[in-house]
Amino acid sequence: MGVGWRRTGIVRCGPPETLEPYGWQSGAGLPIERMDASEIGRCTAGRAAPGLSGLFFPEDAVVDSRLLVRALKRSIVERGVDVAEGVAVTRFRVE
């Protein structure tokens, strides 16, 4: 069952100091492209404030959350899990 997975990449923008927490990804060998305001503007139809910095994560992907939940339910039901819908979850028991 497909979950609508597609690689889209993502651009995270902000003042340079707000992007520092993402530096570990580059150190881990994940591809990251640094962007200046003009590059961000080209990706966002010109909506980039001067002085803005950005990071582009080309390997990031998205899924359709509705399809993902349906696939999860199907998978766990096939494995014998009882699914109670419309009730609050208060804890998980892992055996």
pLDDT tens sequence across 4-35: 999 999 888 888 888 988 888 888 999 999 99
pLDDT the model gives residue 92: 87
CA distance 35 to 51: 11
CA distance 50 to 28: 30
For 72-80, the CB contacts below 8 A with 24+ separation are 74/1
Nearest to 60 by CA among 40, 31, 34, 39: 31
pLDDT the model gives residue 74: 94
pLDDT tens sequence across 39-91: 888 877 766 777 789 999 999 999 999 999 999 999 999 999 998 889 998 99
Overall pTM surpassing 0.85 (yes/no): no
Nearest to 18 by CA among 51, 61, 59: 51
